[in-house]
Structure 1
Amino acid sequence: MMRHRWGLSLGVLTVPAFVVFIAAEPPRAAAQGAHDYPIPSSAGEAFSPIREGFTVPLHPRDDLRGPMQVPVARETGLAMERQERWPAMPVFFRDTALRADSRTYWFDEHDFGYDEPQAFTTGGSLSYESGYLADFFQLRSVLYTTQPLYANADAGQSLNLSPDGDEITTLGQLNGRFRFAGQQLTVGRQLVRTPYINPYDSRMIPLTFEGIVLVPDRQGPDTTFDYFASYLTQYKPRDESDFESFSNGLGVAQNEGVLVTGASYHKDGFNIGASNYWIEDTLNTAYGEIDYALPFGGPGGDPRIRIGANILDQRTVGAELIAGAPYNTYQASARVVASYRGFVFTGAVSQVGDEASIQKPFGFSSSYAAMMVTNFEQAGVDAYLVSLSYDFAELGLEGLKFMAAWGQGWGRNDPVTNGDFANQEELDLRLVYEPLGGRLQGLRVEVEYIDWTVFDDALPSDELSQFRTIVNYTVPLL
């Protein structure tokens, strides 16, 4: 018998009129691509992991370098008002910012003939950021919550609630940031945005991390050189309130963190960089990427073409305590992106090594062929993807965008290395409305449909389908 639970608590961050659907990950876990990234309006805005560089944002979509940023006039206005009203107040207090981000989901999934998770959840985050004390020290924190309004017996599989289908409230971020000698050092619980470790903000609560991170103090779209040095001790999964070690996240009993280093170079449409992630006695992951926007286009920037190639190499290290060791695998991908008058076309291919599937519990996929449910990361799988998006601003509908994508993967089904998830295809449809101004500024509505088919007779059904509607609303409080 199906168990249903209804909750009446909306939480202090809820905007009750907003309803959102989100999907669970399917059995034998397929990772997702960076589908929370804004839909591009041109090839120049297409997502590139290395173009985004290495940052420690307070919110997952802060300071993105690819797409046009949505102005938040209310936050800017509040800051200017404080500066004018209290010019003599210490900056540490005067520049304090307090912000509520509401998020509400309704989720429904049909999972290969097994379970049918459904969850209606609401909540969001409350963030605090002080000004700088003596232009040297800053405090930051974010409280996250997800509350069930409705949940059936399988709702815990959605990753929007705990594995038992219960609420989650957690202080996911609490850190101090130090500025010195052109550097920025962040210590404590924080968001990290790199190609392999990142917020993966496709659920109610993003991945957050605990440790110490060093990056350049001045960053932005005009940054030429980025670097990143970090030791992260723990991470917090999206469906848990507690932190755990990185080795635990890979199924290894000992408690080991991850040592991260990386650097990237950006100039004249050219982006190149690499990063490395080492977990003692477990796994080493290295990533490299070259991305280039071809130097042509008319006065309006059309047409535009962008090309790129990347590779993620993953191998067991030290005592090789991870299941399936020893092994050395990889995922390589390449793409071309072309745009004209609001239309953006992407074609991508990828290939995974035969020895093992890619392990990626700490962020979304860096593969250009990644889709909304599968990123074709299973061992021995070759894949291709085609997608087409359109920005309706060309028709006067500012903030409305649509994307359709289709991908196919094929290879040898192997119950040991890829769990028979080789031959597969996926269709993704995504509609986003994010007004750039007016009374609805701060609102983002997403409606998504996913159909993933795996050609494997061992499954009760060869199809997983999801329907998601995701509504976010940002309210600057201070």
Structure 2
Amino acid sequence: MNHIRLKPASLLASLALPMVAAPAMADFFADSHAKLELRNHYLNRDFRQDNAPQAKAEEWGQGFTAKLESGFTEGAVGLGVDAMGQLGIKLDSSRDRRGTGLLPYGRNSLEPADDYSELGLTAKLRASKSVLRLGTLQPLLPVVVYNDTRLLASSFQGGLLSSQEIDGLTVNAGRLTKANLRDSSSRDDIGYGAASSDGFDFAGGSYAFNPQLSLSYYYGKLEHIYRQQFVGLVHTLPLAEGLNLRSDLRYFDSRGDGAERGGQIDNRNFNASFALGVRAHKFTANLQQMSGDSAFPFLNGGDPYTVNLVTYNTYTRAGLDSWQLRYDYDFAALGVPGLSFMTRYTDGRHAKAGAIDNGRERERDTDITYVIQSGPLKNVSLRWRNVMFRSGNGLTTALDENRLIIGYTLALW
């Protein structure tokens, strides 16, 4: 797919082009749908460590994401097309407050961009219960997870085949060649850290033995950088009415591949998450253990599929053992539907980084979210997220952070 940069005035109009040129097939149009996602995001990050390059990072922006998904043409082999247009607009920022991940900035000028945009097109082909997609992709798989934590979401370019021909079995396989980061209008070669690759190949699937138990396996290879295997098990155990226990076990084995352009990769990553739901309450305990000589690798533009991925930190350094305690509450139980609360504390120790052999990282996150239930602003979500992160034993990052996020999704048809 070729990169297309759009001006704000022409972004949404361009999304209609694939539909104008599409065959006049009933299912193609009748099964199509479109939506507009709006996200207003303010982020204030106050650095507390000595000799920080910036006293704070503070930016405010408005994001628009329009998504159109067609149906398929009639017949044994159906054709379709999807389109996604993204536009981010700066509301407030400056050279000395840049770097929140909301806005791109000039490499030399360091000035945050006034706006940035992206258009992604995806061709799709369906036969039986299998679908092949070519173009812009946003996969949610253990070996590749796109990022959606700022104004605009990241995306990848490539091909993805998804199949459900056997009951209970879902199979995915594909190849990615480009990545569009969350705060960028460019499509860069797929890579990890400073190293780039010609492509990332992956395959795997999950099998549901029953509604309560599923097993997954995936394999991924970033050419000449790393190869990775994943095994996962998810089990839900109903204990009583309004009471259930969900167990999520994940294991990754990551090694170097070929020329090892990203340096030595040697990591084993075990994750375990246990969540107890008690009516409106949910109590979660997570464990994550790293072994091997390197950090846990994952694609640029993506997130690690790990239980201790939290708001600021990923807890993926070499040797880092971490745990998390989390509590969620739904205020609908008290007669306030739409209001929810979350708080968690994550602590990691024994991190290795250069000459550091026992680094420590800890983070506390608190979210309060309200979704308006009625009136002209129905379904508008309001979220306040507060973060405290500290590191020690040779690691020196310390920060306090607040995020205010307003979101709304408008169904166009």
Work out whether the TM-score is over 0.5. yes
Q: Pick from 367, 385, 410: which aligns with 2:306?
A: 367
1:403-434 alpha-carbon deviations (Å, 9 max, x no partner): 01001111155425xx6782121100011223
Please name the residue that 1:472 is paired with.
Answer: 407
CA distance in 1, matches of 2:257, 2:276: 40
Q: After the TM superposition, which parts of structure 1 deviate over 6 Å for at least 4 consecutive aligned residues?
A: 9-14
Secondary structure at 1:423 match in 2: strand
Q: Quote how far apart the aligned CAs of 1:169 are.
A: 3.1
Report the aligned-residue RMSD. 2.6
- Equivalent in the alignment of 1:274: 217
Distance (Å, rounded) in 2 between the aligned partners of 1:458 and 1:333 = 23
| In 1, Cα distance between equivalents of 2:119 and 2:139 | 12
Decide which of 29, 32, 38 is 1:93's aligned counterpart. Answer: 29
Match runs of 1:386-405 below 5 Å = 386-405=325-344
Distance 1:420 1:237 in 2: 31
CA distance in structure 2 between the partners assigned to 1:412 and 1:452 by the alignment: 15
Are 1:147 and 2:89 an aligned pair?
Answer: yes
Aligned equivalent of 1:307: 247
Indicate yes or no: 2:68 matched with 1:128.
yes
TM alignment of 1:153-164, pairs within 5 A: 153-164=95-106
Alignment partners' CA distance in 2, 1:231 and 1:10: 31
Structure 2 contact 317–352 (Cα < 8 Å) conserved: no
Matches within 5 A, 1:255-266: 255-266=197-208
SS across alignment from 2:140: coil
SS of the residue 1:422 aligns to: strand
Where 1:407 maps in the other structure, the secondary structure is: strand
TM-score (norm 1): 0.74
* Corresponding residue of 1:226: 170
**3-state SS of paired residue (2:116):** strand
Aligned AA for 1:357? A
Aligned to 1:452: 389
Report the count of equivalent residues.
383
Percent identity over paired residues: 20
1:317 pairs, out of 257, 279, 286, with 257
- Structure 2 residue 352 is the aligned partner of structure 1 residue 352: no
User: What is aligned with 1:186?
Assistant: 133
1:290 counterpart residue number: 233
- State the AA in 2 paired with 1:106: Y
1:119 corresponds to 2:55? no
AA paired with 2:139?
Answer: V
**C-alpha offsets along residues 305-361 of structure 1, whole Å, 9 cap, x if unaligned?**
1223211221111121213x2x31122111221111210000111111240111223
CA distance in 2, matches of 1:471, 1:455: 34
The answer to whether residue 363 in structure 2 is matched with residue 426 in structure 1 is yes
Please state how far the C-alpha of 1:296 moved relative to its aligned partner: 2.7
Q: Distance in 2 between matches of 1:157 and 1:265?
A: 41
Match of 1:137? 79
Q: CA deviation at 1:224?
A: 2.1
Q: Which has the higher contact order (CA 8 A, sep 6+)?
A: 1
**Which whole-Å CA distance do the structure 2 matches of 1:434 and 1:203 have between them?**
19
Measured at CA, do residues 457 and 213 of structure 1 come closer, stay the same or move farther in structure 2, by a change above 3 Å?
closer
Tell me the TM-score normalized by structure 2.
0.85
Which of these residues, 218, 241, 261, is aligned with residue 185 of structure 2? 241
Name the CA shift for 1:178/1:97 in 2 (closer, same or farther; >3 Å): same
User: Does 2:346 match 1:407?
Assistant: yes
Q: 1:201 aligns with which of 125, 145, 148?
A: 148
Which structure 1 segments of 5+ residues have no match? 1-8, 15-87
Instruction: Find the residue that maps to 2:220 and give its secondary structure.
Output: strand
| One-letter amino acid of the structure 1 residue matched with residue 92 of structure 2 | Y
Equivalent position SS for 2:42: strand
- Judged with a 3 Å threshold, the aligned counterparts in structure 2 of structure 1 residues 305 and 94 are, in CA distance, closer, same or farther, namely closer
